[in-house]
Every structure is written in structure tokens, then in C-alpha cells.
């Protein structure tokens, strides 16, 4: 069983002492020595990270809560199947939800801030290929605890999302917000039809990062011209295209533009190129829009998990509601 976590535990001197002792022992086992004081730059309700200087550069120790602890075993699977696309774990402790990773270098969002569309055009086909490489391993992904969000189960996930958001709104929302949730739940038949269409669309279910923005992509470095992807704690097994909604939305926010901007559609088209052998471009584009719509239910549940992790629901209540409320909006 996973050890208790959360800010109160992870922020304590006792927990830090245990974590640093574990890391020192694991680093020594592979010939690495800690060379300075440990920092804790990230402390969130669902995870924390320690930054550790060592004889081989910075090492990060990430501790995950129950909702994202699967990431530890997932990294081991990713390292076996797509080692060139992810960081190589230095040490793991699944019972604690701990993983030690080397520093991955600069982030794409920082390195290419002034030229982000072009940088993403180069990177997203690599992510699409990663997804295709992982498609034969869906059973293994589910076995390590990645949540099943394949089209066939999404009607059930829709019910879960409506129920969770309704509970949050009942706790601290307005009458208008409660009406919004009721209106969405009444459109279940439409959502089910989307799921049925997506189930027969091009591309097989696979791993979806589900939070792939430019600051979760490690920039290509001198030793390799390949980008790498990290922070897999929100990932799910789903139709591959839907998670690109986060990528494009993030880019749109950065550029202060909308989805019709050619700089945005060019990134979408570059991503779909990784699947171009499966169907004509028009069919891929249709599946892309459908998958991105359905992803809003996935993201609603991801946000709801964050709400549950905080212990103070008001902090994130509006995120699940906002995401679910946009489900039937025009494509974004």
C-alpha cells in the first residue's frame, strides 16, 4: 500500500530526512554522490519534488500521491519500450511512490519561447510516433495503473464527470452552475454517439500524456536530436489525438490567438502526419476534432482528482466545472 503523502507530510523535516537518506543510498549504489543541500522547489497537493546536486549533475526525486503514483511504474515501462523518448530512472520505490530522475536539461517552452510554433512542428510528430510505438502495449499500461479512457468506457466516465462536478457545485456553486451541470448531463446520448464514432475512427488507443504543453517537453540536446517527454502523472489510455487539445490550447494562449490561426493548425497537421498512413487527412482531422471534444471529459476528471487531493475543494472547483461546461461549445 502506498505511504501517506500530501503537503503536510512532504513538507515535514522528518519526511525530507527519510527521502534524502533513501536517495543517498540509491545514488551511492550507482556511483553517484550528493554534493550539496537539497531543495524542495515543488510542493503540490498531488506531488512534490526535491532538487539534489550530485557528482553527475542535478537529480530530482519526485514523490507522488495515490492519484498519480502509477507514474513510477509507468516510467519503468516507458524506459523499456521507448527509452530514447523519456528520462532513464535512477531509482524507484513503488511502495512509497518515489522516483529519482536525472535532470533533463532545458525545456522546449523556455528554449523556443520566441519560435514556439516551429519548435512544436518539429516535435509533435515524434510524440505521435511514441504513441504508435506504445499502442501494442495497452494491456501493460493498464496493468501498471494508467486510467482507462478508451472510447468504449467514456460514457461511464461522462457519468462520473457529471457526478463529481455536481458534487463540487452543490458544495460551493451557484444555482446557474447547478443548472449548467444538469443541462450537460441531459446530453448524454450525444456524447455516447461521439464515443461510438471515435471507437471506429483511425488510430488505436494508446498512452495519452494528457498534459503535453511545451514546458513538459525536454528540448533536443547535444547528445541527441530527439525531444523527450516527462511529467506523466496525468496520462491515460485513450484515443491518441485528444490530448493534443492541451498542446494547441497552450500554444494559443502563448500566442494570444485562437484555433483558426495557421500557426496552430500547422502544429495539428504536423502531429497528424505521424498517422498519415492510416487514413486520408480529412478523416484524421474529423477524428482529431472528435477526440479533442471527448478529452474534455478526461480533463474534467483529471482536475477533479486534483480537487480531491487538495483537501480544500474551493481552490480548484472552477477548473472541473469550466472544462465540463465547454463540452458542447464549438471546437476550440
Report the relative pairing of strands 98-102 and 91-93 from DSSP bridges: antiparallel
| Percentage, residues of the chain above pLDDT 90 | 87
Angle at 56 between CA 52 and CA 62, to 5 degrees: 35
- 49 near 10, Cβ under 8 Å? no
Q: pTM value?
A: 0.95
- 321 near 165, Cβ under 8 Å? yes
Distance (Å, rounded) from C-alpha 81 to C-alpha 142? 15
Distance (Å, rounded) from C-alpha 235 to C-alpha 207? 7
C-alpha cell at 331: 471546437
Set out the domains of the chain in order of their start, with CATH numbers.
7-102 (3.30.200.20), 108-325 (3.90.1200.10)
What does residue 73 show for φ and ψ, rounded to 5 degrees?
Answer: -70, -30
C-alpha cell at 35: 554534493
- 58 near 27, Cβ under 8 Å? no
Question: What is the number of helices (H) and of strands (E) in the chain?
Answer: 13, 10
pLDDT of 112 > 80? The answer is yes
pLDDT of 314 > 90? The answer is no
Burial class (CB in 10 A: 0-12, 13-18, 19+), 59: buried
C-alpha cell at 19: 527521502
pLDDT-based confidence at 220, cuts 50/70/90? Answer: confident
Tell me: the pLDDT tens digits for 196-212?
A: 999 999 999 999 999 99
End-to-end CA distance of the chain: 41
Distance (Å, rounded) from C-alpha 8 to C-alpha 109? 31
Which residues, in sequence order, are bridge partners of residue 101?
A: 60
Distance (Å, rounded) from C-alpha 231 to C-alpha 214? 12
Helices (H), the chain: 7-10, 13-29, 70-81, 108-111, 116-134, 138-143, 154-172, 175-185, 188-199, 244-255, 262-272, 281-310, 318-325
- Determine the pLDDT at residue 222: 47
Distance (Å, rounded) from C-alpha 99 to C-alpha 109? 24
Q: What is the mean pLDDT of the chain?
A: 94
Tell me: the pLDDT tens digits for 231-272?
A: 999 999 999 999 999 999 999 999 999 989 999 999 999 999
Amino acid at each position: 500500500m502506498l505511504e501517506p503523502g500530501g503537503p503536510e507530510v512532504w513538507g515535514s523535516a522528518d519526511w525530507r530526512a527519510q527521502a534524502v537518506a533513501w536517495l543517498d543510498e540509491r545514488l551511492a549504489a550507482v556511483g553517484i554522490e550528493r554534493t550539496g543541500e537539497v531543495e524542495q522547489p515543488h510542493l503540490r497537493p498531488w506531488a512534490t519534488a526535491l532538487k539534489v546536486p550530485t557528482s553527475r549533475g542535478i537529480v530530482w526525486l519526485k514523490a507522488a500521491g495515490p492519484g498519480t503514483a502509477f507514474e513510477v511504474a509507468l516510467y519503468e515501462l516507458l524506459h523499456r519500450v521507448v527509452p530514447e523518448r523519456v528520462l532513464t530512472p535512477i531509482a524507484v520505490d513503488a511502495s512509497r511512490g518515489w522516483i529519482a530522475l536525472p535532470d533533463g536539461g532545458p525545456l522546449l517552452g523556455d528554449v523556443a519561447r520566441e519560435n514556439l510554433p516551429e519548435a512544436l512542428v518539429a516535435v509533435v510528430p515524434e510524440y505521435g510516433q511514441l504513441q504508435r510505438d506504445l499502442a501494442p502495449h495497452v494491456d501493460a499500461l493498464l496493468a501498471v495503473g494508467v486510467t482507462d479512457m478508451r472510447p468504449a468506457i467514456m460514457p461511464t466516465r461522462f457519468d462520473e464527470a457529471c457526478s463529481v462536478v455536481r458534487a463540487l457545485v452543490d458544495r460551493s456553486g451557484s444555482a446557474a452552475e447547478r443548472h449548467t451541470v444538469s443541462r450537460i448531463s441531459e446530453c448524454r446520448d450525444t456524447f455516447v454517439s461521439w464515443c461510438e464514432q471515435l471507437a471506429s475512427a483511425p488510430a488505436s488507443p494508446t498512452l495519452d500524456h494528457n498534459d503535453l504543453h511545451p514546458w513538459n517537453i525536454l528540448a533536443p540536446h547535444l547528445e541527441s536530436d530527439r525531444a523527450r517527454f516527462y511529467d506523466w502523472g496525468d496520462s491515460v489510455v485513450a484515443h491518441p489525438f485528444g490530448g493534443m487539445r492541451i498542446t494547441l490550447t497552450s500554444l494559443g494562449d502563448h500566442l494570444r490567438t485562437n484555433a483558426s490561426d495557421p500557426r496552430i493548425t500547422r502544429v495539428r497537421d504536423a502531429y497528424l502526419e505521424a498517422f498519415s498512413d492510416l487514413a486520408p487527412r480529412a478523416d484524421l482531422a474529423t477524428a482529431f476534432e472528435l477526440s479533442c471534444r471527448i478529452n474534455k471529459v478526461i480533463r474534467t476528471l483529471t482536475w477533479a482528482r486534483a480537487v480531491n487531493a487538495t483537501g480544500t475543494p474551493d481552490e480548484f472547483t472552477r477548473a472541473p466545472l469550466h472544462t465540463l461546461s465547454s463540452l458542447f461549445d464549438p471546437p476550440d
